[in-house]
Structure formats: structure tokens, C-alpha cells
Amino acid sequence: MKDTNIHPSIKRYNERKALAVPHTSISRLSAMELREMCLELGVDDVGFVEISHPLLADQKTDILNVFPWTKVLISFVGRLGRESLRSPARSVASHELHQVEERLNHAAHALVAALERKGVRAANPAASFPMETDEWPGKMQVVSHKPIAEAAGLGKMGLHRNVIHPVFGSFILLNTVLIDTEVDEYGSPLDYNPCLNCKLCAAACPTGAIGPDGVFNSINCLTHTYRELLGGFSDWVDNIAQSKNSVEYRSRVGDTETVSRWQSLAFGPCYKSVYCIAVCPAGDDVIHEYLDDKKKFIETVVKPLQQKTETVYVLPGSDAENHVLSKFPNKKIKLVGNGVRPPSIAAFVSSMPIAFQRHKSEGLCATYHFTFTGNEQIKATVIIKDKTLQVEQGHVGVPDVQISADSETWLRVLHKETPIVKEIIFRRIRVKGPLKLFTAFGDCFA
């Protein structure tokens, strides 16, 4: 075997080692200098938080599984243009989102390169996409930017489930850089929430995903806002595959939606609604517009979005469908799927609170015991009461309805590959208890 010691790189290493020239490393970074670096690279605010911070306890394992050397997280804020986000033209709002996201990614990439030149280990997961799609429909993001920003003192989550910056308000995007070196000063979480609880986000949301009482229905938001991303794209592919010819395809997917798909694929996805951000009056830079003249703010900012004639994508039988019909008669409903298909029984059980349509459960009070057999042997209890859903592992309490099912069969029903009536007849699914309660359970999930 050829002697590798004659390789120039190895020879230089051995020469440095012989001269006792240590590999340079930095034990601690200056927060002030690091902040200046970040601002010069184009971010609008920055904060630092230790991986061991208590507020990141539920994020720590996921981060360390990918970046086990992480000690500190650098949270970035990129400011969004308010008027662009407030425009009823979705192209304007989406373009602004893409531009700021790109700016944050470039800043993070440049920071990582600069830190590596100093001997600091660093990495920059994307501000938004791409993500780990193998994990769909579970948690695909390596790093969850929102809780990190909160822990770093850059804002608090509002009623609309977006981080609200104390100065810039909701008009921000976030990114994170991970490093293996301590910082001499860390941020502290805000001691107040910038959210005004004005509930304008709930009033503007076309799907009703934001409840005035604080309840958030993420599946209804996902189905509409992200229609051209994630599961919405899968649903579009299903429509193509199921169409016998172009005429049938056009009956399923209109020409405008097809063109919108082309635009998303070519130039970046169109977000169907970020109205919750657009109408938010929180933050020192924004709040004066609202407090000086609330009536004018509603007339000029909120109502143009409420009154916009547009298509709202909803799941059949969902709370969102009823919300559009009752609150937005000027908007057109399109019933769609969202491409979310639980890959396992465990995923089905854990996703029930997300898919739950609480207004559809009004008047229902029942306990359900599930027993899954076959490939996945799982027992679970579901309690629906007072428009709330509670899921427990194992069998808890006295059931009103007992459901026993082969796990593979249940998944095929969920994926609409086989009708549930057929599987009940062939006893691959067995129901003990009032069938009306079993039917009512299904009605609670769009």
C-alpha cells in the first residue's frame, strides 16, 4: 500500500504537530460581536439560547439527534413588509414571504461559513423548506424555529400561533443557526405577550381555524393555506391519477388552479392565506395604526381581506365548510382532500386531536374504546365531551362504544381504499354499542 505520509496535506499536519502548533478553537463567543455579525448579514433581530434551556426541553432530543454537538442556538428574525402582506393579491404576499425567507437563508449560510473559518462548528437548517419529508405527516422540521425564538426572547406566540415580535409584531419570519460554542450572554423570554387579544386574526381567517376562545384547528388551516404544498400537492396528484381524461381532470381541477400549481412549481408556492399575520396590530411599529383609529384600521386592513372574492379549500363536513358558509357568503367553497393519510395506527391515534372538528361534536358525550390487532396491537380510549376530545393510551373508564379492528384494515378505510360498511359486514371491524354513537364519532373528523 502506498505510504500516505508523503501526501502533502498529511505532511503539513505532521509538521504542525511536531512544532506543537495546536488546532485553534474558541471556547466562548462574544454575544455583542456575534449580534453585529448577524445584523451586518441582513437579519433584523437576533437572540441566543442554550440547548439546555427549560423551554426547549421538548425540542432538545430532536435537535441533538441530528446535531449532537449543539450547545447554543442563534435565532434570527427577518422583517416582512406590512403592506405586501396586507395586499388581497396573494401573489404580492407570497412573493414577500419568499424574498424574506431567501434573505434569512443567505444570512444563515454566510454566518455558518464565517464561524467555520473561526473554528466554530455550525449548521443552518432551512428557514422553511426543504424538510425531512420521510417523516410526513409527522414532524418534518429538524428545528422548530418558533419555540427557539420564544426562548431567545424574540417574541411570544399569539392567538394565531405565530410568534409576535415586541417591535415588528407578527410581520416576521424566523430562522436558526446551531453552534457548538458557548456565548457569553443569552436572551431571556419576554415577561409579557405582545398579543393584544383583539381577535382580528380570528375575524379574518377564512377557514375559522383560529377560534376566538383560543382553540386552533391546524388541519383546517393546513388544507386551505397550504393547498399547493404538502398534502394538498398529494391530493392534486390523486386527482390527476383518478381522472380518465383531460375533461374529467378539468371537472376536478379548474384551469386557474392548474395554472396556480404551475406557478408554485416554477416560482415558489402560493400561500392561500396569511391573513392572521396581515391584520395583526401587535408590536411597537404597528400598534399605533390600530390604537389611533380602530375603525379605520378595520376598514382598510381587515375588511379588504374579509370581502375578497376567492376560493376557500375545505374538507367535506368540516367546521371550515360551515364557517365559510355562515361568515363569508362572498367566498366560494371548494371541497377537497388534504392528502393527509396516517401511515400507522400510532399516527392515527396521535393525530386525532389535530383532525378533530369540535363544532361537529356539539351535543356528543361518549367514551370509545379502540382495540387494534394484527400488525399493530394498540389499545386507546377516546372521550368526546363538551366539544373537546381526550385521547388516552389503553382502555380507560366505561365505554359507550367498543371498536375492534385489524390494524391494516382500519388504515385502508382511513385511506379510502375500502368502505367501512364492507369491513363491518366481513367483521374485520367490529362495533359493540349504539351505531349512532359510532357514526357520530366519524362525523367529528373531516
pLDDT in tens, 336-358: 999 999 999 999 999 999 999 99
Can you give the pLDDT at residue 13? 80
Q: Do both 360 and 437 map to the same domain?
A: yes
Burial (Cβ within 10 Å: 0-12, 13-18, ≥19) of residue 62: middle
Q: CA–CA distance from 75 to each of 48, 124, 172, 326, 410 (Å)?
A: 6, 11, 12, 41, 42
**pLDDT of 420 over the 50 cut:** yes
Q: Do both 325 and 367 map to the same domain?
A: no
Confidence of residue 12 (pLDDT cuts 50, 70, 90): confident
- 186 three-state secondary structure: coil
Can you give the pLDDT at residue 256? 94
Question: Rg for the chain (alpha carbons), in Å?
Answer: 26
Q: Which of 335, 357, 386 delimits the end of a domain?
A: 335
Lowest average pLDDT, out of 13-27, 177-191, 421-435, goes to: 13-27
Sign of CA dihedral 135, 140, 142, 143: negative
State the total domains in the chain. Answer: 3
What does the mean pLDDT of the chain come to? 94
What is the average pLDDT across 87-115?
A: 96
Q: Do both 207 and 161 map to the same domain?
A: no
Distance CA 273, CA 229 (A): 13
Distance CA 354, CA 374 (A): 25
Q: Do both 393 and 299 map to the same domain?
A: no
Answer whether residue 314 is part of any domain: yes
Confidence of residue 27 (pLDDT cuts 50, 70, 90): confident
Q: Do both 32 and 177 map to the same domain?
A: yes
Answer whether residue 192 is part of any domain: no
Looking at residue 112, which CATH number applies to its domain?
A: 3.40.109
DSSP 208: -
Q: Which of 285, 305, 335 delimits the end of a domain?
A: 335
* Percent of the chain residues past pLDDT 70, beyond the cut: 98
The DSSP bridge partners found for residue 373 are 406
What is the average pLDDT across 80-92?
A: 96
Looking at residue 377, which CATH number applies to its domain?
A: 3.30.1050.10
C-alpha 354, offset from chain centre:
12
H helices, E strands: number in the chain: 20, 15
Answer whether residue 406 is part of any domain: yes
Q: Do both 287 and 394 map to the same domain?
A: no
Q: Which of 52, 86, 422, 112 is nearest to 274 (CA)?
A: 86
Q: Do both 164 and 209 map to the same domain?
A: no
Q: Do both 171 and 35 map to the same domain?
A: yes
Q: Do both 329 and 389 map to the same domain?
A: no
Distance CA 81, CA 168 (A): 10
**pLDDT of 388 over the 50 cut:** yes
Q: Do both 281 and 379 map to the same domain?
A: no
**pLDDT of 21 over the 60 cut:** no
Q: Do both 255 and 286 map to the same domain?
A: yes
Phi-psi domain of 305 (left: phi exceeds 0; alpha: psi -120 through 50; beta: other) = alpha
Confidence of residue 16 (pLDDT cuts 50, 70, 90): confident
Answer whether residue 188 is part of any domain: no
CB 24 within 8 A of CB 117: no
Confidence of residue 25 (pLDDT cuts 50, 70, 90): low
Can you give the pLDDT at residue 3? 61
Confidence of residue 1 (pLDDT cuts 50, 70, 90): very low
Can you give the pLDDT at residue 78? 98
Lowest average pLDDT, out of 7-11, 127-131, 325-329, goes to: 7-11
Answer whether residue 137 is part of any domain: yes
For the packed helices 230-242 and 218-225, what is the interaxial angle rounded to 10 degrees? 60
Answer whether residue 308 is part of any domain: yes
**pLDDT of 216 over the 70 cut:** yes
Confidence of residue 320 (pLDDT cuts 50, 70, 90): very high
Q: Please write the tens of the pLDDT for every residue from 185-208.
A: 999 999 999 999 999 999 999 999
CB 392 within 8 A of CB 356: no
Answer whether residue 194 is part of any domain: no
* Percent of the chain residues past pLDDT 90, beyond the cut: 89
Q: Which of 157, 183, 209 delimits the end of a domain?
A: 183
Can you give the pLDDT at residue 9? 81
Query: What is the domain extent for residue 394?
Result: 345-443
Q: Please write the tens of the pLDDT for every residue from 405-416.
A: 999 999 999 999
The separation between the first and the last C-alpha atoms of the chain, rounded to the nearest angstrom, is 66
Q: Do both 372 and 321 map to the same domain?
A: no
CB 370 within 8 A of CB 405: yes
What are the b/e assignments for 308-330, b being 16+ CB within 10 Å? beebbbbbebbbbbbbbeeebee
Lowest average pLDDT, out of 16-20, 22-26, 110-114, goes to: 22-26
Answer whether residue 424 is part of any domain: yes
Place of cell 368502505: 419
The DSSP bridge partners found for residue 334 are 313
Place of cell 411599529: 285
Single pTM value for the model = 0.92
Lowest average pLDDT, out of 129-138, 183-192, 269-278, 317-326, goes to: 129-138
